[in-house]
Amino acid sequence: MTIPSPRTAAGLRREHLHKYVAWVTDACRDPGTRSALRAGLRRDLDHVRPMHRIVAPWLPRHRRVSETEERAFYLVASMIADRPRHTFTTEDEPAEAAEEAPPTPPVADGPGSAPVRENEDTWSEHWGRSLGHCLAQAVTEGPGREREMRVSNAEARLHLLTRQSAAGLHRHLPATVRHLRQTGIDVDWVRLMEDLIAWPAFSGRISRRWLQDYYRKTYEDQRNKSDQTDENALLDNRP
């Protein structure tokens, strides 16, 4: 008999963020909602009045929420909405977590829990693709040369982002996300939200992780291509 593991605060928060991202994505099928969210790009929280009715019900209610955490909810919603209209009509199949997502915002204090970091070794495994990994994917998996994000471009963007304050991230992230979208790479929104929320306390650690993920993946891609080249050369030289 399998005994279910207890649900941790970090796990509950992750579930809530998954539901939030899925709910926002689904809500963006409505043109009015999409327009209201997209209008919040690069604006501070005092100038995004149309967004409050959509985002505020998802914010934690039973504890103090930092402005950084609020910004993460608003920024991610606005970046999700910042997509061409037709992409919301057919291709957004509800994610696994979305199947459990309520049609209306939750009452529970889901994301609640202040940012809690799990063991470093299990962080990437459990929490998805970092922004560094996504940028590396844009370099290594971009479909077609004309759409590929050049290595120097990706590196420059990544280093720029890792030098930012929380406010600076909110100014620069939308352009990077658009670039990723143009290369056909999806952002891991839940992972990004976690990183944004934790940024004031863990910016150094998160920056390190983004850079490590980027260089690890691009190195693996180069090594695989080199191995393939060597293998092809051996096959061509067979007697």
Dump pLDDT digits (tens) for 64-103.
Answer: 889 999 999 999 999 999 988 777 765 544 444 444 443 4
> Measured between alpha carbons, how far is 149 from 139 in angstroms, rounded to an integer?
5
Report whether 214 contacts 136 (CB < 8 A).
yes
pLDDT at 149: 61
For 130, 132, 185, the CA distances from 156, given in Å and listed in that order, are 16, 12, 18
Report whether 138 contacts 217 (CB < 8 A).
no
For 60, 113, 127, 130, 222, the CA distances from 66, given in Å and listed in that order, are 10, 12, 22, 22, 42
Give every CB contact of residue 59 below 8 A, 6+ residues apart in sequence: 65, 69, 70, 73, 111
Closest of 149, 121, 152, 135 to residue 217, by C-alpha: 135
Can you state the percent helix, strand and coil of the chain, rounding each to 5?
Answer: 65, 0, 35
| Assigned token pair, 121 | 């070794």
| Assigned token pair, 203 | 């910016």
- Count CB-CB contacts under 10 A for residue 227: 10
Q: What is the percentage of the chain residues whose pLDDT exceeds 90? A: 51
> Which has more pLDDT, 58 or 94?
58
Give every CB contact of residue 37 below 8 A, 6+ residues apart in sequence: 24, 28, 51, 54, 55, 77, 78, 80, 81
In the predicted model, is pLDDT for residue 124 greater than 70?
no
pLDDT at 51: 96
Residue type, 85: R
Taking the alpha carbons at both ends of the chain, their separation in whole angstroms is 59
pLDDT at 88: 75
- pLDDT tier at 3, thresholds 50, 70, 90: low
- The listed range with the strongest mean pLDDT (102-106, 141-145, 156-160) is 156-160
